[in-house]
Amino acid sequence: MPLYCRAAARILAPAAQAAQDIARFVGSGPRKTVWVHEGCGDHFFAPGPRPEILAEVRQRYNLPER
């Protein structure tokens, strides 16, 4: 793994401490190791269907409220 990390253009780490550890133990240099936040933004989630559309589907298929 150290060979791959030294050859990589950038190394992504899930936490600041992990980025420091990678740079120290692998010898890749601190400028090459980047801390990225885990998770994803709201733009990855589509909004739910509008209430009127839900009501129409419930009525069409005779579905209960829950």
pLDDT tens-digit readout, 39-60: 877 777 888 889 999 999 999 9
Q: Is the pLDDT of residue 64 over 90?
A: yes
Interacting residues of 51 by C-beta distance below 8 A, sequence separation 6+: none
pTM above 0.85, yes or no: no
* 21: in domain: yes
Domain encompassing residue 13: 2-61
Residue 15 lies in a domain: yes
Tell whether 52 is covered by a domain.
Answer: yes
Asked if the structure places residue 22 within a domain, the reply is yes
**Distance (Å, rounded) from C-alpha 23 to C-alpha 5?**
9
**CA 4 – CA 19 distance, rounded (Å):** 15
Total domains, the chain: 1
Does some domain include residue 66?
no
What 3-state DSSP class applies to 31?
Answer: coil
